[in-house]
C-alpha cells in the first residue's frame, strides 16, 4: 500500500466525505470472498490490494475497481494524490448523503477485527493503539465520541474486545477491563502499555490519556526491505487467516524481499 | 507540437489555477494538461502550487483544541480515519449516507508483520 498517497493533505481532506474502509487482505474468509468479487487480477485470484469506491449501501460501484487508486484514476508521477483527491471530490459532490438522512446516534469506533490484528495494523501505520476491554455500550459510545474528534481523528488505531485473553496474547501482563492505550512493537506482535484508564472514565479523562499517547509516542520511519530482512533474521512471523494468493508474493518463508508487493 | 507547447511553465500554472476554481468540467482539462506535460518538474521553484485552504487545515491540528494538540501534530499529522472491517464500515455508511471508499491491503510482507 502506498502510504504517501494516503497522507496527502488533499486526500485526507477529501476522505472526510467518505466512509473509508481499509480491510486487511487475507485476514477474513468472508471479506476475502467479497474482495474477490470487487477485483481479481489476471491470475483470477485475490491479490494483495484492492481499491474501489461504492455507494453508501455498498451495492453500486462509483468508480472502476483495481489494485490501487492510481490504477483506477491514473495521474502523472507526483500528481497521483491530487488526481485521487479531485476524483473523490467529484464523486462526493455527485453522491452526497440524502438531505432527509438523519441519524440520532454518532459513529461507532472504527475497530479492527481483533486485538492481534489491530496491533499489527497499528505497527504498519506507526500509530498508537487504543484497546477497549469489557466496556458496555454507553461507555463504548462515550469513547467513540471522543475518538472521532480532532485531534484524534485518523491519528490513532482502535480495537475492542470483551476477552482479556486477547490482551494477554499481545503482551499485556495483567489484562483487565478498561481503556488501554498502547504502543505497538516494531513488528506488531507485542505492545508496550502507555497508560490505562477505567472503563467508566469521563470524556475529559479519556481525552487526556489520548493526548498522552500522542505526546509520548514517536512515529518511526520504516523501510520495507530492511524491515523484512530484520524480521526474517529475528524470526518474526505472521500467519494470515486465509492463504495468500497474490501471484507476486512467494509462499510464506520463501523468497527474498526484492520488490514491494503492496503497490 | 502540442506536447511541446504544454512544457511551457505558464501553461502549467494556468492549469493549476483552473484546478483551484473547482469547476468539474475545467478540472478534467487542467488534469489532462498536467498529465501530458509530465507534472511540475519545469515549474519555477519560487512559485510552488498553492494548496487550497481546507487541505492545509487538514494537515494541521485545529487551533485552541488543547495545548498539546499543536505540539504533537508534527509527530502525528492528520490521517485518514480507516474502518478496519467491512461490517463496521457498511453500518457507518448506512448511518451517515456517505459513499464508501474501499481499500484492502495486507499488513505483512513476505510473512513479516508490521509493514504494509
- Tell me whether residues A117 and B84 touch, CB distance under 8 A: yes
pLDDT at A93 over 70: yes
Q: Which residues of A touch B62 (CB under 8 A)?
A: 150-151
Q: Which residues of A touch B23 (CB under 8 A)?
A: none
pLDDT at B20 over 70: no
What whole-number distance in Å separates Cα of residue B14 and Cα of residue B68?
40
What whole-number distance in Å separates Cα of residue A181 and Cα of residue A156?
10
Q: Which of A117-131, A186-200, B26-40 has the lowest mean pLDDT?
A: B26-40
**Cβ–Cβ contact B114 with A under 8 A:** yes
Q: Which of B32, B67, B106 to mutate to test the interface with A (most CBs of A within 10 A)?
A: B106
pLDDT at B62: 39
pLDDT at A118: 98
Q: Which residue has the higher pLDDT, A183 or B68?
A: A183
Mean pLDDT over residues B48-69, rounded? 44
**Cβ–Cβ contact B95 with A under 8 A:** yes
Q: What is the DSSP letter of A259?
A: S
From A49, A92, A215, residue closest to B71, measured CB to CB: A215
Mean pLDDT over residues B44-50, rounded? 44
Mean pLDDT over residues A133-157, rounded? 95
- Tell me whether residues B100 and A21 touch, CB distance under 8 A: yes
Nearest-Cα residue of chain A relative to residue B39: A76
Q: What is the DSSP letter of A54?
A: E
pLDDT at B1 over 70: no
Residue B65: band (very low, low, confident or very high) from pLDDT cuts 50, 70, 90: very low
Mean pLDDT over residues A147-158, rounded? 94
pLDDT digit string (tens) for A32-81? 999 999 999 888 899 999 999 999 999 999 999 999 999 999 988 889 99
CA distance B44 to chain A (A): 16
Q: Which three cell numbers stand for residue A192?
A: 508496550
As a whole number, the mean pLDDT across chain A is 91
**CATH assignment of A115-216?**
3.40.30.10
Q: Which of A19, A116, A170, A255 to mutate to test the interface with B (most CBs of B within 10 A)?
A: A19
Mean pLDDT over residues A154-159, rounded? 95
Q: Indicate the pTM of the whole model.
A: 0.78
pLDDT at B17 over 70: no
pLDDT digit string (tens) for A7-21? 999 999 999 999 999
Q: Which residue has the higher pLDDT, A2 or B6?
A: A2
Domain boundaries, chain A: 3-94, 115-216
Whose cell is 488543547? That residue is: B66
Q: Under 8 Å CB-to-CB from A258, ≥6 apart: which residues? A: none
pLDDT at A171 over 70: yes
Q: Which residues of A touch B93 (CB under 8 A)?
A: 19, 56-58
Residue B77: band (very low, low, confident or very high) from pLDDT cuts 50, 70, 90: confident
pLDDT at B40: 45
Residue by residue, what is the 3-state secondary structure of B24-80?
Answer: HHHHHHHHHHHHHCCCCCCCCCCCCCCCCHHHHHHCCCCCCCCHHHHHHCCCCCCCC
pLDDT at A138 over 60: yes
**Cβ–Cβ contact A90 with B under 8 A:** yes
CA distance A177 to chain B (A): 22
From B22, B62, B93, residue closest to A150, measured CB to CB: B62
Residue A203's alpha-carbon distances to A113, A138, A140, A250, in angstroms, are: 25, 12, 11, 47
CA distance A176 to chain B (A): 24
Amino acid at each position: 500500500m502506498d502510504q504517501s498517497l494516503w497522507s496527502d493533505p488533499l486526500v485526507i481532506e477529501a476522505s472526510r466525505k467518505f466512509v473509508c474502509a481499509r480491510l486487511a487482505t487475507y485476514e477474513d474468509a468472508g471479506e476475502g470472498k467479497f474482495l474477490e468479487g470487487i477485483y481479481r487480477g489476471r491470475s483470477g485470484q485475490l491479490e494483495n490490494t484492492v481499491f474501489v469506491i461504492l455507494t453508501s449501501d455498498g451495492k453500486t460501484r462509483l468508480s472502476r475497481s483495481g489494485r490501487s487508486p492510481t490504477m483506477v484514476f491514473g495521474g502523472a508521477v507526483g500528481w497521483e494524490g491530487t488526481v485521487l483527491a479531485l476524483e473523490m471530490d467529484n464523486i462526493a459532490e455527485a453522491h452526497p448523503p440524502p438531505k432527509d438522512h438523519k441519524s440520532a446516534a454518532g459513529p461507532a469506533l472504527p475497530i479492527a477485527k481483533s486485538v492481534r490484528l489491530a496491533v499489527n495494523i497499528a505497527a504498519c501505520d506507526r500509530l498508537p493503539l487504543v484497546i477497549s476491554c469489557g466496556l458496555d455500550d454507553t461507555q463504548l459510545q462515550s469513547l467513540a465520541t471522543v475518538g472521532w474528534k480532532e485531534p484524534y481523528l485518523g491519528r490513532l488505531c482502535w480495537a475492542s474486545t470483551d476477552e482479556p485473553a486477547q490482551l494477554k496474547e499481545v503482551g499485556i501482563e495483567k489484562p483487565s477491563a478498561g481503556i488501554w492505550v498502547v504502543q505497538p512493537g516494531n513488528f506488531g506482535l507485542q505492545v508496550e502499555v502507555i497508560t490505562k484508564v477505567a472503563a467508566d472514565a469521563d470524556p475529559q479523562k479519556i481525552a487526556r490519556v489520548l493526548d498522552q499517547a500522542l505526546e509520548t509516542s514517536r512515529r518511526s520511519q520504516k523501510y520495507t526491505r530492511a524491515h523484512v530482512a530484520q524480521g526474517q533474521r529475528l524470526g518474526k512471523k505472521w500467519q494470515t487467516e486465509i492463504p495468500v494468493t497474490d501471484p507476486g508474493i512467494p509462499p510464506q518463508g520463501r523468497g527474498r524481499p526484492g520488490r514491494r508487493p503492496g503497490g | 507540437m502540442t506536447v511541446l507547447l504544454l512544457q511551457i511553465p505558464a501553461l502549467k500554472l494556468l492549469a493549476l489555477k483552473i484546478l483551484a476554481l473547482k469547476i468539474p468540467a475545467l478540472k478534467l482539462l487542467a488534469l489532462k494538461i498536467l498529465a501530458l506535460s509530465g507534472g511540475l518538474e519545469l515549474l519555477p521553484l519560487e512559485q510552488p502550487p498553492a494548496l487550497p485552504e481546507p487541505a492545509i487545515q487538514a494537515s494541521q491540528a485545529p487551533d485552541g483544541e488543547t495545548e498539546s494538540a499543536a505540539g504533537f501534530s508534527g509527530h502525528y499529522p492528520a490521517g485518514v480515519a480507516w474502518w478496519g472491517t467491512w461490517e463496521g464500515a457498511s453500518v457507518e455508511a448506512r448511518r451517515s449516507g456517505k459513499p464508501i471508499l474501499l481499500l484492502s491491503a495486507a499488513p505483512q510482507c513476505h510473512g513479516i508483520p508490521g509493514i504494509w
